[in-house]
């Protein structure tokens, strides 16, 4: 036997050999897929019945340019759209705001008004496509734009399907695109839960996100512990508002990262399902659909290298397998060039083809939970679960996620893990192919995807025209209604939808609430 010690990225020691002695007999309790606690998957037949939704996250420049990419992706076989918004849209500034300069259309599409939303989805029937929107602080405004557009298209709102990320707690912990303090932010989120329960029954009202926690440098164990802990906080806030856990619980979804350690990632997804089912049961859920953890996965952006970028195709393939073997409901695969720029059309196509090859050629989708019963996978699932519970109990002792974020506990844990990971790369303990080993003398040039700085001028001109043509009295009345509702306890969503239908801009609505709630510093 070798004396060398090997660890996962979460610090779990990997033994040289696993046998039945590594799994307690009680673990083989004949748990079946589609049954509590859903370790083996949320559907009895998983991909035999329906493949995961193949999404490609896209959005850049203007709504016109992004609309062209969406039509291209739909023609190539994507099953759902996933919208990336630019930074000004994410933090509630119109494109012509002074703080938007240099950022309009750069990391996503610029959406200032309902008119932009109409262009973004031109020629796409919202009733027939599932749309995921990666937006948090201004998520309620983007949802209002989407609902207003669906109404304009004459769609039946009970058939509108999709997801809004709407996860503000991870913004405070890891990502930074928050606007308002935690308490009013949580109020907006529970207003969305309440409004969608009655009006948009197929819409996933939140995508509780571990993805950005992982991108910020957490381990796999921290990713699920912090994410599930945040999930508990959202459920508790909704219960405190008097909402029914068996109704809103069905519309909660999760968003996880897939990294390169194939077996730890599979174990992470299996453990997360088991843990969430227990958390929801403890909080009072009895409906089986409210107990199920359904999740979208995106391959790891932080794992992509600018050096030898074509190697990223192999990394994304491993990560795709991890997500599929772990039982994801929906998947986005990154372009190989994303460490250098937004993905080119070619890179986006290769990324989608990677999913299609795994689906139709690899055999990974042919049977449910194919790694179940492996001594290694079952043991690793148990270890990931045990370590994640330890962290959740620490957070509970602090007073829950909101208190843990306010005290900086999660941020400190993530920063420490990121530091250790980077130190291991620099001292050669962690090998990254093409970065600290197996280097080349000359890198092959990769064509980048560049965004023109003229986008801001185009968006500003659109805003100028919008403000000149709209009914200013109605705009003033709508914004005043949002302000007074924010000071009370009535649901904000109907007032925000009314405002966007009367051509109020994203920035005007966000600013109205800045005056009421202040900004989180």
User: Which tens digits make up the pLDDT trace of 389-432?
Assistant: 999 999 999 999 999 999 999 999 999 999 999 999 999 999 99
Q: Is the pLDDT of residue 169 over 90?
A: yes
pLDDT for position 341? 85
Per the listing, tokens 């939970």 go with 369
pLDDT for position 398? 98
pLDDT for position 28? 59
Q: Is the pLDDT of residue 6 over 80?
A: yes
CA separation for the pair 118, 128 (Å, rounded):
16
Phi–psi pair at 495, nearest 5 degrees:
-75, -35
CA separation for the pair 405, 112 (Å, rounded):
31
CA separation for the pair 444, 330 (Å, rounded):
33
Average pLDDT for residues 167-183, to the nearest whole number? Answer: 94
Q: Is 6 helix (H, G, I), strand (E, B) or coil?
A: strand
CA 360 vs. chain centroid, Å, equals 25
Average pLDDT for residues 343-357, to the nearest whole number? Answer: 94
pLDDT for position 39? 97
How do strand 162-164 and strand 130-134 relate by DSSP bridges?
parallel
81: enclosing H helix or E strand: strand 80-84
pLDDT for position 178? 97
* Integer angstrom CA distances of residue 467 from 164, 275, 435, 475: 28, 50, 51, 10
Phi–psi pair at 35, nearest 5 degrees:
-120, 150
Q: Is the pLDDT of residue 206 over 70?
A: yes
How do strand 13-14 and strand 6-7 relate by DSSP bridges?
antiparallel
b vs e for 78-100, b when ≥16 Cβ sit within 10 Å of the residue's Cβ? Answer: bbbbbbbbbbbbbbbbbbbbeeb
Give me 352's structure tokens.
């989608």
DSSP E strand stretches across 137-285: 162-164, 203-204, 206-209, 252-258
* Integer angstrom CA distances of residue 324 from 41, 68, 321: 11, 29, 5
pLDDT for position 442? 87
pLDDT for position 190? 95
Give me 440's structure tokens.
């080349």
Summarised one tens digit per residue, pLDDT across range 361-381 is 999 999 999 999 999 999 999
How do strand 206-209 and strand 252-258 relate by DSSP bridges?
parallel
Centre a 10 Å sphere on the Cβ of residue 370 and count the other Cβ atoms it contains: 16
CA separation for the pair 209, 220 (Å, rounded):
13
Q: Is the pLDDT of residue 449 over 80?
A: no
pLDDT for position 445? 81
322 Cβ contact list (under 8 Å, min separation 6):
258, 259, 262, 265, 266, 269
Centre a 10 Å sphere on the Cβ of residue 396 and count the other Cβ atoms it contains: 14
User: Are 26 and 53 within 8 A, CB to CB?
Assistant: no
CA separation for the pair 111, 246 (Å, rounded):
34
User: Are 350 and 311 within 8 A, CB to CB?
Assistant: no
Instruction: Write down the pTM of the prediction.
Output: 0.94
CA separation for the pair 28, 39 (Å, rounded):
12
C-alpha closest to that of 140 among 165, 176, 174, 106? 165
CA 272 vs. chain centroid, Å, equals 15
C-alpha closest to that of 506 among 59, 117, 124? 117
CA 138 vs. chain centroid, Å, equals 15
Strand partners, 433: 437
* Integer angstrom CA distances of residue 420 from 114, 261, 386, 424: 45, 17, 22, 6
Strand partners, 162: 131, 203
CA separation for the pair 402, 172 (Å, rounded):
9
CA separation for the pair 205, 192 (Å, rounded):
7
Average pLDDT for residues 120-141, to the nearest whole number? Answer: 96
C-alpha closest to that of 429 among 12, 9, 15? 9
Per the listing, tokens 């912990």 go with 173
331: enclosing H helix or E strand: strand 330-332
Per the listing, tokens 């989407």 go with 146
C-alpha closest to that of 173 among 407, 376, 386? 407
Work out the percent of the chain whose per-residue pLDDT is above 90. 90
* Integer angstrom CA distances of residue 188 from 16, 47, 283: 50, 35, 22
pLDDT for position 120? 97
Q: Is 300 helix (H, G, I), strand (E, B) or coil?
A: coil
Residue 207 — very low, low, confident or very high, per pLDDT cuts 50/70/90?
very high
Q: Which residue has the higher pLDDT, 214 or 107?
A: 214
Residue 26 — very low, low, confident or very high, per pLDDT cuts 50/70/90?
low
Orientation of helix 182-199 relative to helix 139-152, angle to 10°: 20
Mean of per-residue pLDDT scores for the chain: 95
Q: Is 505 helix (H, G, I), strand (E, B) or coil?
A: coil
pLDDT for position 80? 86
How long is the chain? 521
Summarised one tens digit per residue, pLDDT across range 239-265 is 999 999 999 999 999 999 999 999 999
Summarised one tens digit per residue, pLDDT across range 45-97 is 999 999 999 988 888 899 999 999 999 999 999 888 989 999 999 999 999 99
Give me 205's structure tokens.
């009202």
């Amino acid at each position: 036997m070798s004396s060398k010690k090997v660890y996962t990225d979460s610090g779990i020691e990997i033994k040289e050999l696993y046998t039945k002695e590594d799994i307690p007999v009680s673990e083989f309790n004949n748990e079946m897929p589609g049954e509590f606690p859903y370790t083996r998957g949320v559907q009895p037949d998983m991909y035999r019945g329906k493949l995961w939704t193949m999404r490609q996250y896209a959005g850049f420049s203007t709504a016109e340019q992004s609309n062209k990419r969406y039509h291209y992706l739909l023609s190539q076989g994507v099953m759902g759209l996933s919208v990336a918004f630019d930074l000004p849209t994410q933090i509630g500034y119109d494109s012509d705001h002074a703080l938007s300069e240099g950022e309009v259309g750069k990391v996503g599409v610029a959406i200032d008004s309902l008119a932009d939303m109409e262009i973004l989805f031109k020629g796409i029937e919202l009733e027939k496509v599932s749309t995921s929107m990666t937006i948090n602080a201004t998520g309620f405004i983007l949802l209002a734009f989407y609902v207003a557009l669906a109404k304009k298209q004459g769609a039946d709102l009970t058939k509108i399907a999709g997801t809004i990320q709407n996860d503000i707690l991870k913004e405070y912990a890891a990502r930074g695109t928050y606007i308002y303090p935690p308490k009013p932010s949580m109020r907006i989120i529970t207003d969305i839960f309440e409004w969608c329960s009655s009006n948009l029954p197929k819409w996933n009202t939140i995508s509780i996100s571990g993805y950005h926690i992982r991108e910020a440098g957490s381990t796999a164990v921290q990713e699920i512990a912090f994410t599930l802990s945040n999930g508990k906080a959202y459920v508790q806030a909704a219960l405190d508002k008097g909402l029914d856990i068996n109704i809103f619980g069905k519309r909660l979804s999760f968003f996880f990262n897939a990294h390169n350690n194939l077996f730890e990632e599979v174990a992470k997804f299996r453990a997360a399902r088991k843990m969430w089912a227990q958390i929801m049961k403890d909080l009072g859920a009895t409906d089986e659909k409210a107990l199920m953890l359904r999740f979208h996965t995106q391959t790891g952006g932080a794992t992509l290298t600018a050096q030898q970028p074509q190697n990223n195709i192999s990394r994304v393939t491993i990560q795709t397998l991890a997500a599929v073997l772990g039982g994801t409901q929906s998947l986005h695969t990154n372009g190989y060039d994303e460490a250098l720029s937004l993905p080119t059309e070619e890179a986006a196509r290769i990324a989608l083809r990677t999913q299609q090859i795994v689906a139709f050629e690899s055999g990974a989708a042919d049977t449910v939970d194919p790694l179940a019963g492996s001594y290694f996978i079952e043991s690793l699932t148990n270890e990931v679960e045990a370590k994640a519970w330890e962290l959740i109990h620490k957070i509970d002792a602090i007073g829950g996620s909101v208190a843990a974020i306010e005290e900086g506990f999660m941020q400190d844990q993530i920063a420490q893990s990121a530091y250790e990971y980077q130190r291991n790369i620099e001292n050669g303990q962690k090998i990254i192919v093409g970065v600290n080993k197996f280097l080349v003398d000359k890198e092959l040039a990769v064509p980048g995807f560049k965004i023109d700085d003229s986008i801001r001028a185009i968006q500003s001109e659109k805003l100028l025209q919008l403000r000149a043509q709209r009914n200013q009295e109605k705009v003033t009345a709508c914004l005043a209604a949002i302000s007074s509702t924010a000071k009370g306890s009535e649901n904000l969503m109907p007032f925000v939808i009314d405002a966007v239908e009367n051509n109020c801009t994203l920035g005007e609505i966000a600013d109205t609430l800045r005056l009421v709630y202040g900004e989180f510093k």
